[in-house]
Each structure stands twice: as structure tokens, then as C-alpha cells.
A and B are shown apart, each in its own frame.
Chain A
Amino acid sequence: MPSYYERKILDVLRKYKDGLTTVNVAKEADISKTTAIKYLASLRAEGKVDYVEVGPSKLWRIKEGKKPTAKKHKAWSKSERLEDLLREFKEITGVEGSAVIDRDGFTISADLPDGMDPEKFGNIVSLLLRTSMKSIDAAKLKPIEEIIIGGGGGRLVIRSEGKVLIAAFCKPDTPLGTVRLEMEDLADKINEVLT
């Protein structure tokens, strides 16, 4: 099980696919420089990350080639399996990002669009949920099934699926039907992982 700091480092490296210098890993993960060096060194020893030399600097990246060996499902943690499901969902539907949220608005797993802060995202969802619940209650439309917010830059679709809510960031041209269909499928798989 990776430690808190290792998870923080892996998260930022997943976000910055092109790689980050050691100093920027520390900055992005909001950890001290010495902590970043310690954990990058041990993550490298475990084969989870590696550096590439770009000019005079070294850029840290997630070590590729983990997938084939990881196909043996039993060794996977729940969060790793959820991350994998979200990546697959993104590939099939072409959404910009997605997330699994519990009924209290807390993020379980997320694959957010570039530059989006997970904490900010969590705040948006929990605000949306509270407002929507009240509205649905008042309009006597319970239980809640779906929240869709449209903007010029795309749509945020949140669907209630069993124990969890699934959020998807869609581009303006993403067919909503496909997204909904795939969301149902994704929800089944997620509920399977979580039970």
C-alpha cells in the first residue's frame, strides 16, 4: 500500500504526463523538498516512477508498462481498479474527465481534466448536490437521478447510480446518449468493485 506521500507524488505525476522536475514535484504535491527526494528515490527503487534526462534536468514520470502485469486483478487495490475503469470510460466516450463521488459529495476516484484542482471539484459537486436535493424535494421529483449543467465550453453530467454518483465532463460535441449508456455500464463495474 503506497504511503500518503507516495500517493501524493503519484497523483501529480499522473496529472503531468510530460514529467516534472524534482523541485516541481515538491511544489505540485505541496510537500517539502527533502520529502520529495526521499520518496521519489524509494518509488524509483520500487519501479513505480523513473526519470528521463531532458537537457540538464531530470524529469520524473510514472513508469509505463505496469498495465500488462497488473491484469491479474487480485493484486489490485480498489482505488487502482477504479482509476483504470475511469481511464477506460474516458477512452470509449471521449469525455474530458470523470469522477466517482459518494452520496455525501466526497470524491472516491477522479480522472479530472488538466488543470482542475480535485479539492475545488469536490466543493462544486457537494454544492450542486445540496442545491439539487433541495430542488428535487421541493418539486416532489425524488429520488434524484441526474444533474446536467450546460455551459459554452461543455457539459457537466452527474448521474446517480446505485451507491455512488458518477460525474463526467463532456465537450459540447460529445453525444450525451453514449455517455449516459456508458455511465450505466461503468456504474455496474464500479458497484462491483466497491462491494
Chain B
Amino acid sequence: MERSEWKDRIPPEIISFFEAFPGQSLLVKGRPGTGKTILALEILRAICEKGNGLYISTRMEPRRLYVTSPWIRDFIPERNVINATQSKVRRSLGLEAHHPGRTRPIDYNTILQFFRVIYEEAEDMDNPMIIFDSWDGVLSHLNMEAEAAALTQEICDFCREVETHTIFVTEREGIATIDFIVDGVVTLRRLRLGGSEAGPEHRVVREIEIEKVRGLPIRQSRYLFTLHEGRFRFFKPFLEDLTARVESAPYVEDRYSTGIPDLDRALGQLPAGNVGLWETHYGVNKRYEQMLFQLCMNTVANGGGVVGIPHMGSSIGKMNLENVVIHYPETEDINVETASFLSVVRNLQEKVKKPILTFISLDTLEKTFGVKGALNLLDNFLKISEETKLISSILYIAGSGSSLLRSVANSVDIHLVFRDVDGALVLYGVRPVTCLYGVTVDEKGVHLTPVV
């Protein structure tokens, strides 16, 4: 159970890669701070048996490793943190202190002696899994950069032969000979969403790219991931599931609640009676409806009602939910529509005896009434809301290409942006400013995980 939860944190391509054959070698590339070590340790946790991890580094800091992630001690006992700069390690590789060159070639026997020295210090292991972190560091301390390819090749061959998985961590970018030697290559990147544009769009995104897994298909090559709470976790492609029965969150006094505790926390304490805007980028399509669904269901569960003018083809629009009234404009006359919308809201308010939550697709309004007409209609709705107190809050939903977006954005209390990153659904707040969150859904509803 635990083990499968650990496996869920790593892209399935990497899990299958290590499960397909014994003695696989994986190269983990990425700039400093991209999460290479955390990924290597997370793989160890998912694949390796307890006590069978071996960590070879140029730094002897097991305690530091244990402080940041205490669980590592179970997988890599203290004796298994090996300092590769010791003189006996150098000697095993045919390097003598006062000898300028190598005393013998790098061959099978060299590697055999190397592992004899390494294993002498370590605990007995039936199925060791080795992490070289970083491989560049080890090579540079041993002064063996020129022989990197030969040494890597021999280590990979040896580990394949003795059925031992290895992970090489490197800060080197670009393609090098070692990329061709190992069985798999993944690169970790820290990107900024929104490209070179200035403005509120910039959020940090972490991305893992699976560049090579020898002999296995790559179904998806890039995934969004986070290092939240010091653990690696990738985000599966998100698809909405509106059949999910979600747990309802009770309202706390007169505070505004979205029905999604993680979102409430992200937005901070907002008073009731606010106006929100959910902006959806191309590629998000109907997936934001998972959150809209939870918002509606939670309002209903707390005894409220919802009136919505949804987007064309909306799934929620077809669901026929109790106390969620769907209203599509029937004419192009703004005054007629204002009156009919008001009567729908009033009818529901009289039924549930509570102010109504409304959501309005700006794209639907623009298509029916044009930009000017739609703005006038929105103005009317706001006036009704203020004068009648029939409406508790208004939520606008708009595609990022909508002409109404910029006009409306200036008047809202909450502005959330939904985007697709490598199939995952993400969101961030422009007002209030929040970090980027990955959206996931389970039987308890929608969860937001910070991408940090």
C-alpha cells in the first residue's frame, strides 16, 4: 500500500524502466536546484528494498541527508554513504598518489576492485541500488574527467552483469557520450510559465523530461512535478470526473468558501459577497469544471442555490442538479434578459431562502450580445446584486482570448488563471497573488499542491 503510494510520485515510464530489467542505469540531468537528488532518492524509495541504497558522493554528509528527509536512513544506512574521495577508492581505480597517470587500464578487474572497496565499508546488500551524486563531482575529485566515458561504460556493464540498478546524477547539460552509454536519461528543468512576456503571468514550473528509456515506449515525455515538502511528486494528466462524490466543507460564519479547502487557504480569508474571475487558457477546455462542480455542490450541500449561465457545451449545464439552475439567454434584448435572469434568481432564492451563487460564462454573453451588450448586461447583474441582495457572489468564467476579460479583470476581487502544463491542470492567483498549484482530484474532491 505504502509502496504503491511511493510509486505514484514518479512518472510511470521511470518505474517501468527499473522494473523491466535488472541492472538498469539512469542518468538524471539538471541545473543546480532542479531536484535531481530528491528524484534519485524518491526512485530509491519506490524501487529499492530497505537498507539496500548506496549513496556515493564527494561530500560526506549523511546527517544532512537524514535531517532533510529522515526516511532516507531506512533505505541508506549511515555506513552506505560512501565518500568517493578516499585514497583507497583512488587506489582501487589504479590511481596512486604520486603517480601522474593510471597504473593499469580501466577494465572489468578495475571495477571489481572499485566495488570491493565500496562494499567493504557498506552493509551487506542482496539487491543494492547505487546513486552517484554527483557523478561530475566524483569524476572531478578523482581527476578522471578525461576517462569519464570509459569508467561510466565499465560501471554500467558491471552493474548490468551483477543486476544492480544505478543512478548517475549530473549537472552537465547538453548531450555527452555518457548519454549514449546509460540505459535511460531524464532531465529536470525549472521553467517560467508565460515565456518572455512581462506581466502577471510569471510562475515557476518544474518539468521532468524523459529523454531515453532503452527498449521501452515513452507514452508521455514531459510531466509537471513539484518538490513540495521535500518530496518529488509528478502530476498525471488531469481529466475531470464529475461523478466524484465530494465531501462538503461547511461554511465558517460569513466567510467566503469555494468548497475546496486548499483553494480557500491559498486565497486567504475573503469576505462573502465577492466577485470572482476564472480565466482559462487554451488547452484547459472543460477541465476547470471539476472545480466549478465542487463549488456548486458545496453551495447546495450548505443549503444554498446556484444560477449559472454556462459555457456552450458545459457538462454541468447538462447535469440537472437540484438547486443548480442553468439559464441560457433566449433573446438578444438586454432588458428582457436582465428581467428573466432576475426572475430565475428570485425563484430559487425564495425556494432555498438564501442568497444565490451565480456563475456566468463571458464567452456565452459575448457570443449572444456582442462585447458592448455583454458589458451592459454584466452591469445590470451587478446592480441587481447590490440592490436586491439576492446574489451572494458572482463568478465570471472566461477564456483567455475573451475581449471582455481585461474590462472585467479590473473589477474583480479574485482572479484565478487556469492553464495546462504537460497535461496537468494548474492554476494560480493573479489577485490575490499565489504560487502555481497543480490540481488533482480524488474521492475527497479537488486538491491543490503547490509547485515549488
Contacts and interface: CB of A to CB of B under 8 A. Distances in A.
A34 B128 contact: yes
Given A37-B119, A41-B116, A23 B108 contact: no
Contacts of B108: 51, 58
Contacts of A178: none
B127 interface: yes
Interface stretch (B142-150, B160-168, B400-408): B160-168
Interface string A1-35: 00000000000000000000111001000001111
Interface in B116-144: 116, 119-120, 122-128
Contact of A34 (B112, B125, B161): B125
Nearest to B119: A34
Contacts of B69: none
Contact of A57 (B113, B115, B116, B161): B161
B109 interface: yes
Interface string B261-302: 000000000000000000000000000000000000000000
Contacts of B116: 37-38, 41-42
A22 B108 CA distance: 13
B80 to A, nearest CB: 10
A93 B68 CA distance: 68
Nearest to B124: A32
Interface string A38-66: 10111011000001000011100000000
A40 B112 CA distance: 9
Contacts of A40: 112
Name the residue in B122, B124, B127 with the highest tally of chain A Cβ atoms < 10 Å from its Cβ: B124
Contacts of B124: 32, 34-35
Contacts of A45: 113
A188 B164 CA distance: 50
A34 B112 CA distance: 11
B125 A32 contact: yes
Contacts of B164: 33
Contacts of B125: 32-34
A23 B120 contact: no
Given A38-B116, A40-B112, A32 B162 contact: no
Interface in A84-123: none
A33 B162 contact: yes
Interface residues of B, number: 19
Contacts of B120: 38
Name the residue in B109, B162, B164 with the highest tally of chain A Cβ atoms < 10 Å from its Cβ: B162
Contact of A41 (B113, B122, B123, B161): B113
B126 A33 contact: yes
Contacts of A34: 119, 122-125, 128
Interface in B167-206: none
Interface residues of A, number: 19
Nearest to A37: B115
B100 to A, nearest CB: 25
Contacts of B112: 37, 40-41, 44
A31 to B, nearest CB: 8
Nearest to A22: B162
A132 B109 CA distance: 53
Contacts of A23: 161-163
B162 A41 contact: no
Contact of A22 (B123, B128, B161): B161
Contacts of A41: 112-113, 115-116
Contacts of B122: 34
B7 to A, nearest CB: 23
Nearest to B162: A22
A33 B128 contact: yes
B126 A32 contact: yes
A22 B23 CA distance: 13
B165 to A, nearest CB: 12
Contacts of B161: 21-23, 56-58
Contacts of A22: 161-162
Given A42-B116, A44-B112, A58-B108, A37 B162 contact: yes
Nearest to A31: B124
A51 B162 CA distance: 13
Nearest to B118: A34
B413 to A, nearest CB: 62
B88 to A, nearest CB: 13
A51 B126 CA distance: 21
A188 B249 CA distance: 91
Given A23-B162, A37-B115, A41-B115, 7 more contacts: A34-B125, A37-B112, A37-B162, A38-B119, A44-B109, A51-B108, A58-B161
Interface of B: 108-109, 112-113, 115-116, 119-120, 122-128, 161-164
| Nearest 4 A/B pairs, CB to CB | A41-B116, A32-B124, A34-B119, A34-B125
8 contacts: A33-B126, A34-B124, A37-B112, A37-B115, A37-B119, A38-B116, A40-B112, A41-B112
